[in-house]
Structure 1
Amino acid sequence: KKAAPSVKLTDAHRSDPPYNTNSFPGHDPQMQNVGLDTPLDKMFHEANYKTSPNPMDTTWGGQDYTQSLIDKGYYSNREVAKKK
């Protein structure tokens, strides 16, 4: 199976300087980048590991694997919680 060619990820909300400086990224409700291989896709795949903790990776190790990493403190500096 032939891989899709890599294409640049464009954001119409950010491509008109100086007007769109420091703006939030745009939302693509029509999902026009579906099926394209973009640089953003490469950022979220753990190519260096045999087993990935990321459920969206094709090499995900499963729920037990991810939970074991949580228990070992792998994500200790990236916790998110509600303020009390």
Structure 2
Amino acid sequence: MFKAKIYVNYKPSVLDPKAQVIQNTLRRLGDDNVQDVLVGKYFELTLAAADQAAAEAQVARICDEMLANVNTETFRYTVEELAVAQ
């Protein structure tokens, strides 16, 4: 069993209105030192895959086909093998 942790964010060239609202609000609250805000999506998947490479390939495909809009978003992920309870 493997656990995938997936992070999806807008590409740097895409305006993120939610992040802009958060940054503007922080400035109004006096947090002028916040230089940038990044808003994204986070997913966790538990996979029954044959090995690490198969799990990573499956996660990459899922991200590319469903979880991220590759025109406007980027994604990154980690895949860790889960300890088997005995």
TM-score by length of 1: 0.23
Which has more strand, going by share of residues? 2
Q: Which has the higher helix share?
A: 2
Determine which structure has greater relative contact order: mean sequence separation of CA pairs < 8 Å that are 6+ residues apart, divided by chain length: 2
